[in-house]
C-alpha cells in the first residue's frame, strides 16, 4: 500500500518588514494541520517561504539604506525563518523566490504555458495598485481611484506587456469549482469567487517592463520584461517541491491537499492559479482554504497605525503555546475576529492556567500518591462513561481537524478537561486515598489516562505543552511523536508512574 501523503502550504510573505501576528496566524494554523497529519502517520510536506521579487521589498531596502538587494533579502528572509522557528512552526522547507531552484521551475512552467499558445503580447493600460502589486479593474476601485484594500490612489500604467490567456480557462475553472465543493473552503467564500470569475476574469498581464519593474525574474522570451510577481510567486507551491529541479518530492506531493491563504488573496488562488495550472497541464490543489482576517482592538493591522504586534515578542511574555492556543481558539477558523490583550489574558487565566494547567497538576499530584503495587492491577479506562467520552472526543476531534475546524477541535479538548474536573469532584480522590486505596488507585489511573489522551490531542496546537505532559506522565510518546508514529491510534495501556513537574501555565506577572 502506498503511504498517504499530505501537502500543505501557506502564502509566501513579502519580507519588506518583520512578520506580524496576522502572518503568524496562517503559519500556526498550517502547522497545526501539518502536525495533526503527521500524528496520523501520514507523510507530510509543509511549505512556507518568502515572496522576494516584489517592488515592496525594493522600496523597503532603499528606505533602510541598503544598496545590495541580495544582502537585504538574505537578512529579511532569515528574520522570517527565525520567527517561524521561534513559534515552533514545523515547515519542511522555506522557499525564497530569488533562489535558483525557483527560477528554474518558473521557466519550466512558463515554457509549458507558452508552448500551449497561452502567452501573447499586448498593450496594457490600466490601474495598478502598488500595495497589492496587482492591476485592478475600474469596478474594484473605491471613491474614484482608491484601492479597496489599501485605500490609496492607484497608478495609471500603459505599457507593452505579455498576457496570459486566463479567460480561455474561465469556464473550466467555474466547472471545477461547481463539481468540487471542497475546492474552495469555507463554502461561504465560494460565491465571492464564482461572481468574480463570472464578472471580472479576463486575460492578465503577466510581465512588466524592467524600466518600471526594477526587479523580478526575466521573461525567457523577452528579457527586457520581468515576470509579474503573482505569476512568479504562485509557482512557489511547485518549486518548493523541486518542480523544475532534481528530486521526487513534486511527484510525491503534488497536488497539494490544502493551500491555506488569507481572504485577501483568495482571487489569485482560486481563479488565476487554477487557470495557470490548467494551462500548464498540472492537477489543481484539492482544497484552498481562505481564513478570515483579524483586527487588533477593533483596528486593521497597519503600519500607519503602528499596531502590528510582533508574535515572537508576544510569545516571550505569554509562552509560544499560549499564543498558538489563543489565536486558534478565539477566532472560529475561516471567520474574521479581533485580537485584544484583555481577551488573551482572560483566556490564559481561565483556559490555560485554571483549565488544563490546573487539571494536569491535580491529576499528577494525586496520582503520585498511588502506591506502585496498586498501579499494576488496575485497568485503565475500566469505566464505560470514560470510554464513551474519550471515543466521542476523538471522533469529533478528528472530524473537526479533517475539515479545518481548528477551533472546534480545541473545544473538544476543553470538554474532556471539564469532564475530568467533574470526575475529580464526584469521586473526591483526596478522601479515597485514606478510605479506599483500591478505589483511589482506579480513579487515578483513569484520570491519568484521560490526561494522556488530552496530551495527544493538544500536541498539534501546543507541542511544547504536550511534550512537558509526556515527560510528566513518564511515557515515551515524545520519542514516538518525533518519529512521526501514529499516536492518534494510541490504545489505553499500562500506566507509568507520573511525576509532577513545573506548572504548565504559571500565573501571569501583570
Range in contact with ligand MSP (rule: CB under 6 A) among 17-25, 63-71, 79-87, 475-483: 17-25
475 binds ligand MSP (CB under 6 A): no
Q: Considering the rule CB under 6 A, would residue 472 count as an interface residue with ligand MSP? A: no
The grid coordinates of residue 272 equal 488565476
20 is catalytic: yes
Q: Which is nearer to ligand MSP, 272 or 353 (CB)?
A: 272
Per CB under 6 A, which region of 8-16, 159-167, 388-396, 481-489 contacts ligand MSP?
A: 8-16
Q: Is 369 a catalytic residue?
A: no
Note whether 309 binds ligand MSP by CB under 6 A.
Answer: no
Q: Which of 5, 7, 473 is nearest to 258 (CA)?
A: 7
Catalytic residue among 152, 198, 200, 303: 303
Q: Which of 300, 345, 354, 500 is catalytic?
A: 300
Q: How far apart are CA 24 and CA 446, in angstroms?
A: 37
Q: What's the CA angle centered on 117, arms 229 and 98, to 5 degrees?
A: 25
CA distance 479 to 445: 22
Binding flag, residue 267, ligand MSP (CB under 6 A): no
Q: Any contact of residue 22 with ligand MSP (CB under 6 A)?
A: yes
- Joined together, the cell numbers standing for residue 140 give 474594484
Question: Per CB under 6 A, which of residues 36..55 are in contact with ligand MSP?
Answer: 51
- Residue 293 touching ligand MSP (CB under 6 A): yes
300 noted as active-site residue: yes
- Which CB sits closer to ligand MSP, 26 or 455? 26
Name which of 46 and 294 has its Cβ closer to ligand MSP: 294
7 binds ligand MSP (CB under 6 A): no
Dump the DSSP string for 288-300. EEEE--EEETTBP
Of 196 and 293, nearer to ligand MSP (C-beta) is: 293
Cell of 299: 483596528
Can 150 be counted among the known catalytic residues? yes
Does 11 contact ligand MSP by CB under 6 A?
Answer: yes
Q: Which three cell numbers stand for residue 305?
A: 497605525
Q: Is residue 453 at the binding interface for ligand MSP, with CB under 6 A as the rule? A: no
CB-wise, 76 or 361, nearer to ligand MSP? 76
CA 82 to CA 435: how far, in whole Å? 54
Name the DSSP class of 142: B
Q: Mark whether 427 is an active-site residue.
A: no
Nearer Cβ to ligand MSP, position 108 or 427?
Answer: 108
| 270 in Cβ contact with 184 (< 8 Å) | yes
State yes or no: residue 127 binds ligand MSP (CB under 6 A): no
Q: Which is nearer to ligand MSP, 9 or 442 (CB)?
A: 9
In the bound state with ligand MSP, the residue whose beta carbon lies nearer, of 39 and 288, is 288
Query: What is d(CA 396, CA 393) in angstroms, rounded to the nearest whole number?
Result: 5
Taking the complex as a whole, the smallest distance from the CB of residue 412 to ligand MSP amounts, in Å, to 24
User: What are the cell numbers at 499?
Assistant: 511525576
Active site residue 270: no
To the query of whether residue 147 is one of the catalytic residues in this protein, the response is yes
Pattern 224-263, ligand MSP, x by CB under 6 A: ---------xx-x------------------------xx-
Q: Largest Cα–Cα distance of the chain, in whole Å?
A: 88
94 counts as binding ligand MSP under rule CB under 6 A: no
Q: Helix 69-86 and helix 311-318: axis angle, to 10°?
A: 30
Q: Which three cell numbers stand for residue 398?
A: 478528528
Using the rule CB under 6 A, is 58 a contact of ligand MSP? no
Distances 314 to 83, 246, 265, 321, 420 between C-alpha atoms, Å: 11, 40, 26, 11, 31
In the residue annotation, 439 being an active-site residue is answered as no
- Min separation Cβ 42 and ligand MSP, Å: 24
First to last CA, the chain: 55
- Is residue 308 a contact point for ligand MSP (CB under 6 A)? no
CB of 150 to ligand MSP, least distance (A): 11
Cell numbers linked to 112: 509549458
Selected catalytic residue, list 27, 37, 129, 453 = 129
Phi-psi region of 115 (alpha: psi -120 to 50; beta: other; left: phi over 0): alpha
H or E element that contains 346? helix 341-347
Instruction: Work out whether 377 is an interface residue with ligand MSP (CB under 6 A).
Output: no
Q: At what angle do helices 21-39 and 406-427 cross, to 10 degrees?
A: 70
Site membership for ligand MSP, residue 13 (CB under 6 A): yes
Q: Is 264 in the site for ligand MSP (CB under 6 A)?
A: yes
CA distance 98 to 105: 12
Whether 487 contacts 477, CB under 8 Å: yes
Q: Which residue has the cell 515554457?
A: 111
* CA nearest to 294, candidates 231, 259, 232, 339: 339
284 scored as a contact of ligand MSP (CB under 6 A): no
Residue 336 or 436 with smaller CB distance to ligand MSP:
336
Give the span between the Cα atoms of 208 and 275, in whole angstroms: 20
Minimal distance in Å, beta carbon 330 to ligand MSP? 12
Where in the sequence numbering do the catalytic residues fall? 20, 23, 129, 132, 147, 150, 300, 303
Binding site for ligand MSP (CB under 6 A): 11-14, 22-23, 25-26, 51, 233-234, 236, 261-262, 264-265, 293-294, 301
Amino acid at each position: 500500500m502506498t503511504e498517504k501523503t499530505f501537502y500543505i502550504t501557506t502564502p509566501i510573505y513579502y519580507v519588506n518588514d518583520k512578520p506580524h501576528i496576522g502572518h503568524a496566524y496562517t503559519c500556526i494554523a498550517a502547522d497545526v494541520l501539518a502536525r495533526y497529519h503527521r500524528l496520523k502517520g501520514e507523510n507530510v510536506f509543509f511549505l512556507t517561504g518568502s515572496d522576494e521579487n516584489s517592488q515592496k521589498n525594493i522600496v523597503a531596502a532603499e528606505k533602510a539604506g541598503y544598496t545590495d538587494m541580495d544582502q537585504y533579502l538574505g537578512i529579511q528572509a532569515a528574520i522570517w525563518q527565525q520567527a517561524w522557528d521561534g513559534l515552533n512552526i514545523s515547515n519542511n522547507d522555506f522557499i525564497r523566490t530569488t533562489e535558483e531552484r525557483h527560477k528554474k521551475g518558473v521557466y519550466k512552467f512558463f515554457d509549458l504555458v507558452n508552448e500551449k499558445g497561452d502567452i501573447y503580447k499586448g498593450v496594457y493600460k490600466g490601474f495598478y495598485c502598488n500595495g497589492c502589486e496587482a492591476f485592478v479593474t475600474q469596478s474594484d476601485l473605491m471613491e474614484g481611484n482608491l484601492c479597496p484594500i489599501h485605500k490609496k490612489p492607484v497608478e495609471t500604467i500603459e505599457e507593452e506587456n505579455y498576457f496570459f490567456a486566463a479567460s480561455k480557462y474561465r469556464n473550466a475553472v467555474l466547472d471545477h469549482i461547481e463539481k468540487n465543493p471542497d475546492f474552495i473552503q469555507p463554502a461561504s467564500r465560494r460565491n465571492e469567487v464564482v461572481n468574480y470569475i463570472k464578472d471580472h476574469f479576463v486575460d492578465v498581464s503577466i510581465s512588466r517592463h524592467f524600466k518600471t519593474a526594477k526587479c523580478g525574474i526575466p521573461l525567457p522570451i523577452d528579457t527586457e520584461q520581468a515576470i509579474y510577481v503573482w505569476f512568479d510567486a504562485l509557482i512557489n507551491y511547485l518549486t518548493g517541491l523541486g518542480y523544475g529541479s532534481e528530486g521526487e518530492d513534486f511527484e510525491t506531493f503534488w497536488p497539494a491537499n490544502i493551500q491555506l491563504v488569507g481572504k485577501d488573496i483568495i482571487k489569485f488562488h482560486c481563479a488565476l492559479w487554477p487557470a495557470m495550472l490548467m494551462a500548464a497541464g498540472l492537477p489543481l490543489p484539492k482544497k484552498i482554504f481562505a481564513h478570515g482576517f483579524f483586527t487588533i482592538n477593533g483596528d486593521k493591522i497597519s503600519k500607519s497605525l503602528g499596531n502590528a504586534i510582533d508574535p515572537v515578542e508576544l510569545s516571550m511574555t505569554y509562552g509560544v503555546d499560549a499564543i498558538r492556543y489563543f489565536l486558534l481558539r478565539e477566532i472560529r477558523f475561516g471567520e474574521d475576529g479581533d485580537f485584544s490583550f484583555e481577551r488573551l489574558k482572560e483566556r490564559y487565566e481561565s483556559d490555560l492556567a485554571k483549565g488544563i494547567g490546573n487539571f494536569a497538576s491535580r491529576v499528577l499530584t494525586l496520582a503520585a500518591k498511588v502506591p506502585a503495587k496498586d498501579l499494576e492491577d488496575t485497568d485503565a479506562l475500566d469505566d464505560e462513561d470514560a470510554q464513551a467520552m474519550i471515543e466521542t472526543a476523538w471522533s469529533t476531534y478528528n472530524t473537526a481537524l479533517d475539515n479545518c475546524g481548528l477551533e472546534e477541535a480545541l473545544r473538544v479538548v476543553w470538554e474532556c478537561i471539564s469532564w475530568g474536573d467533574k470526575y475529580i469532584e464526584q469521586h473526591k480522590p483526596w478522601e479515597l486515598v485514606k478510605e479506599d486505596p483500591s478505589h483511589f488507585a482506579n480513579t487515578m489511573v483513569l484520570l491519568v489516562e484521560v490526561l494522556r489522551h488530552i496530551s495527544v490531542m493538544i500536541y498539534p496546537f501546543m507541542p511544547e505543552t504536550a511534550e512537558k505532559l509526556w515527560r510528566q506522565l513518564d511515557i515515551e510518546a515524545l520519542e514516538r511523536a518525533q518519529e512521526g508514529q501514529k499516536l492518534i491510534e494510541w490504545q489505553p495501556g499500562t500506566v507509568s508512574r507520573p511525576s509532577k513537574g513545573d506548572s504548565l501555565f504559571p500565573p501571569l506577572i501583570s
